[in-house]
Amino acid sequence: MWALAYLPGFLKNFTIDRSVGYDNVTPRGNLARVRDADVAALVKRMDGAHQNGLEALPLWISAVLAGTITHVDTHTMNVSAATFIALRTAYVYVYVTSKTPLQGLLRTALWLGSTGVAMRLLVKAASTLSS
């Protein structure tokens, strides 16, 4: 999951470097220097996918820790992890490549699905703890 959160950020920096050169002195100003509209839009989507990955990390880490501490069964933990990672991988791909409202809707559905997996694991951990 950590790699999925950071991959779009690395790709963003690589894309900026290939387009206008990466300025490490003022890195937050790099996007403003991109003049090609298509490249700028791509870089913005990469940055959005990166930021969303960072936002998803605490929820997922909390769910995994809660499941581990409360001894949620291994099958549930493994299926949750595989499903979450698959949904997040698809989410990042769709986010970075999307150009239409329908693709944006698919991205939202993938986000809801991955968030639902993490929330389900938290609920499972809570119910395991209470039983």
Q: How far is CA 93 from CA 43, 74, 96, in A?
A: 13, 28, 5
Q: Domain coordinates of the chain in residue numbers? A: 2-130
Distance separating alpha carbons of residues 117 and 124, to the nearest angstrom: 10
Distance separating alpha carbons of residues 15 and 44, to the nearest angstrom: 11
Residue 131's pLDDT band (boundaries 50, 70, 90)?
A: confident
Please give the mean pLDDT across all residues of the chain.
Answer: 96
Model confidence at 35: pLDDT above 90 = yes
- How many helices (DSSP H) and strands (DSSP E) are in the chain? 5, 0
Model confidence at 103: pLDDT above 80 = yes
Residue 1's pLDDT band (boundaries 50, 70, 90)?
A: confident
Residue 130's pLDDT band (boundaries 50, 70, 90)?
A: confident
pTM for this entry: 0.91
Model confidence at 98: pLDDT above 90 = yes
Residues 6+ positions from 89 with CB-CB distance below 8 Å: 4
CATH of domain 2-130: 1.20.120
- Residues 72-94: tens digit of each pLDDT: 999 999 999 999 999 999 999 99
